[in-house]
Amino acid sequence: MPNTGDIFVTTLKKAHLFWGSHRHTNTRGVVYGEAYLHIPISQARRLNIYNEKQPNKYNL
């Protein structure tokens, strides 16, 4: 789990900021206001950030 003061730097593109509506596929409906924060795997591991499939995960 990240701690106060932990940081990483990433570049946000239009596709990240408008994840729910800026797409080139029709695999699901439009979700206005939805965004995506790209976290490189090296940074996720360093900060102990996991997805919902991680056993014993902690959601805050």
Residue 2 has a pLDDT of: 77
Residue 57 has a pLDDT of: 66
Residue 49 has a pLDDT of: 83
Residue 25 has a pLDDT of: 67
- Domain interval for residue 5: 1-60
Closest C-alpha among 51, 37, 50 to residue 9: 37
Taking the C-alpha atoms of residue 31 and residue 28, their distance in angstroms, rounded to an integer, is 9
Taking the C-alpha atoms of residue 25 and residue 10, their distance in angstroms, rounded to an integer, is 25
User: What tokens appear for 12 in the block?
Assistant: 């946000």
User: What tokens appear for 35 in the block?
Assistant: 């965004």
**Which residues of the chain register pLDDT less than 50?**
none
0.75 surpassed by pTM: no
Task: HSE, CB side, 13 Å, CA atoms: give it for residue 40.
Answer: 9
Task: Note whether 20 and 30 are within 8 A (CB).
Answer: yes
How many domains are contained in the chain? 1
Summarize pLDDT for 46-56 with one digit per residue, the tens.
888 877 777 77
